[in-house]
Amino acid sequence: MESQNVSKSQPRSTGRRAAVIVLGVLFVITAVVGAVGFDVWRVLFNPPLVKQTLTDEMVKSDLVAAVLQAFSEQRARQRVERGEALSGVDEPDIALLLSFVSLDDWRAIKKLLVTDDFINHLVSVSVDALYTWIDSPDPAPKLVWNMQPLKARVSGNEGKEAILTAYAALPQCKPEEVADFQARLSQVPPGVEVLYNLCQFPMPYRTDQIDDYVHALEIVNENVPLEFNFGKMLEESPSANPQAVKTLLRRVRFAAHWMWVLALVFLLALLALSRFDRRRLGIYAGIPLLVAGALTLLLAGAAQPLLANLISNALLAQTSELVRAEVSASLARLARLFFQPLWVQGAVMALGGAALLIIARIRVRQNA
């Protein structure tokens, strides 16, 4: 009779162990993912926080100056490659001109042309349009940037001062460069424009040279629309799929917000299997909590540099080193919003698991 009871208890014990292992693994996975997901939800789906963080980053860092430099150089090359301009023929070699402009110069140009109010407008409109679109039936975000404040500064005194900043970066003309210009000028009829060499000419040529650069900037400014409808561009782009992005964002938001509940369910199931016996608690719940906490701490320490390197080296491989450096620095600052709470969450889980193991150990010694 006694042997029959022992044989009946063995399958139950084996089944319980299997259930504990499965639930423990599921708890560890959902606890780690839930901790990360909750921090993602807390930051990414908090429009006021996103708005404030992005605005501060763009105003206080060199990100805008770096992007201005990269975009201007890329745009100058594209205009020549697409035949939009005969660089060095009917207008100055803008790509070469921009190569003389340092990051300090771009900081000064950004301060002249891109005001904090304009940055705040771009971020505010973009964030509001994005988060409104997620819960709307619209096919694409209704995202329209008002470019008039930027155009007004480019066409005003600030634009001329920006040209003077770039002009000051040019080297002084050598005598042979001045002689080359004078020779070309003497070979054309009066009134025909002759391009200046990319260097600072002495008077009386300097004033006319600067006016030529100001005129070239005015032409570029005229091609900038008063409003930039980014949403319409997305709708018309054959490669874009805004609806798929919206669906993905909704699913990420839901999962990130509620994954911790699933982890709690698995933990409660482990507690139920332990029957709240202090010795069993250490094995059933303590070990999974300790493992989940350790993995969360490991993720908090390792994921931040890995993510920054992935974005910098893979996604931004075609950009300039300056842009990669500034984006990496900005990502490092923004990542703190995600990863700093992970240290606390991981530590709480690890300490909770360790405490349960210690209690179980004490219980075993008391029963010995």
Q: Which ranges of 116-240 does DSSP label H, i.e. alpha helix?
A: 116-134, 148-155, 157-168, 175-186, 205-222, 230-236
CA separation for the pair 285, 282 (Å, rounded): 6
> In this structure, is residue 316 part of a structural domain?
yes
> In this structure, is residue 253 part of a structural domain?
no
Among the candidates 236, 251, 271, a domain finishes at 236
Amino acid of residue 202? P
pLDDT for position 6: 44
pLDDT of 185 over the 50 cut: yes
pLDDT of 29 over the 90 cut: yes
> In this structure, is residue 298 part of a structural domain?
yes
> In this structure, is residue 247 part of a structural domain?
no
Question: Given pLDDT bands bounded at 50, 70 and 90, which one contains residue 8?
Answer: very low
Residues in CB range of 244: below 8 A, 6 or more apart: none
CA separation for the pair 341, 36 (Å, rounded): 9
Query: How many domains is the chain partitioned into structurally?
Result: 2
Among the candidates 236, 270, 286, a domain finishes at 236
Q: What is the DSSP string of 146-157?
A: E-HHHHHHHHSH
CA separation for the pair 264, 259 (Å, rounded): 9
From the list 222, 316, 271, the residue with the least C-alpha distance to 24 is 271
> In this structure, is residue 243 part of a structural domain?
no
pLDDT for position 176: 92
55 and 182 assigned to the same domain: yes
185 and 269 assigned to the same domain: no
161 and 230 assigned to the same domain: yes
Higher pLDDT, 314 or 310: 310
210 and 73 assigned to the same domain: yes
Residues in CB range of 207: below 8 A, 6 or more apart: none
204 and 309 assigned to the same domain: no
> In this structure, is residue 168 part of a structural domain?
yes
> In this structure, is residue 21 part of a structural domain?
yes
pLDDT for position 1: 44
Q: Which has the minimum average pLDDT: 50-54, 75-79, 82-86, 239-243?
A: 82-86
206 and 263 assigned to the same domain: no
Question: Given pLDDT bands bounded at 50, 70 and 90, which one contains residue 13?
Answer: low
Residues in CB range of 312: below 8 A, 6 or more apart: 324, 327, 328, 331
Question: Given pLDDT bands bounded at 50, 70 and 90, which one contains residue 202?
Answer: very high
- Domain housing 166: 47-236
CA separation for the pair 316, 331 (Å, rounded): 13
283 and 159 assigned to the same domain: no
92 and 23 assigned to the same domain: no
197 and 293 assigned to the same domain: no
DSSP SS3 for 125: helix
pLDDT in tens, 146-183: 999 999 998 999 999 998 998 888 889 999 989 988 99
Q: What is the DSSP string of 72-112?
A: HHHHHHHHHHTTS--BTTTB--HHHHHHT--HHHHHHHHHH
Q: What H or E segment, with its residue span, contains residue 367?
A: helix 321-367
Average predicted confidence (pLDDT) for the chain: 80
Encode 219-265 in three state secondary structure. HHHHCCCCEEEHHHHHHHCCCCCHHHHHHHHHHHHHHHHHHHHHHHH
pLDDT for position 87: 42
170 and 231 assigned to the same domain: yes
307 and 198 assigned to the same domain: no
